[in-house]
């Protein structure tokens, strides 16, 4: 086989790899418990998980679920299927945001009911809990304010 033939075969394989969809986790499975400020569970609260893979897609997603009588809701994991070529293109577009650019997967949860709302907050750091690709399962406790 000639060097030219080898290069053509390699180019064809790379082109094929650039368009073949690759499946990845876009948002983990997520158990959320919602309570009021006294610690009592809140049934019927809306919990929203918002997620986006800034290196694979150009738009965000939201899924809403309602808590049961124990203030609990479980979200199924979400996956995305995007080709390597698409992922490279979206990553380059994301990079154009400069210092404000985001890359990879990000997800958060938020709850609201009866005029109150709340996020999952890391109490030690006083920061919003955000999933960034790992682990494959999250658990959150949200107190509505």
If you average pLDDT over residues 64-84, what whole number do you get? 94
pTM of the model: 0.81
Condensed to tens digits (0 to 9), the pLDDT of residues 109-142 reads 999 998 999 999 988 888 999 999 999 999 999 9
More confident call, 52 vs 11: 52
3-state SS, one letter per residue, for the chain: CCHHHHHHHHHHHHHHHHHCEEEEEEECEEEEEEECCCCCECCCCEEEEEEEECCCCCCCEEEEEECCCCCEEEECCEEEEEEHHHHHHHHHHHHCCHHHCCCCEEEEEEEEECCEEEECEECCCCEECCECCCCCEEEEEEECC
Say which CATH superfamily domain 22-143 falls into.
Carboxypeptidase-like, regulatory domain (2.60.40.1120)
If you average pLDDT over residues 27-35, what whole number do you get? 98
More confident call, 61 vs 85: 61
- Give the rounded percent of residues in the chain with a pLDDT score beyond 70: 92
More confident call, 93 vs 115: 115
The full set of domain ranges for the chain reads 22-143
């Amino acid at each position: 086989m000639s060097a030219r033939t080898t290069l053509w075969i390699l180019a064809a394989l790379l082109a094929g790899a650039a368009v073949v969809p690759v499946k990845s986790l876009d948002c983990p499975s997520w158990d959320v418990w919602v309570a009021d400020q006294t610690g009592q569970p809140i049934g019927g609260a809306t919990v929203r998980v918002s997620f986006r893979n800034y290196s694979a897609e150009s738009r965000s997603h939201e899924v809403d679920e309602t808590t049961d009588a124990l203030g609990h809701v479980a979200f199924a994991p979400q996956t995305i299927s995007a080709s390597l070529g698409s992922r490279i293109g979206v990553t380059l577009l994301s990079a154009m945001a400069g210092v404000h650019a985001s890359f990879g997967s990000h997800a958060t949860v938020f709850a609201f009911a009866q005029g109150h709302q709340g996020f999952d907050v890391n109490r030690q750091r006083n920061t919003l809990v955000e999933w960034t690709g790992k682990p494959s399962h999250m658990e959150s406790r949200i107190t509505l304010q």
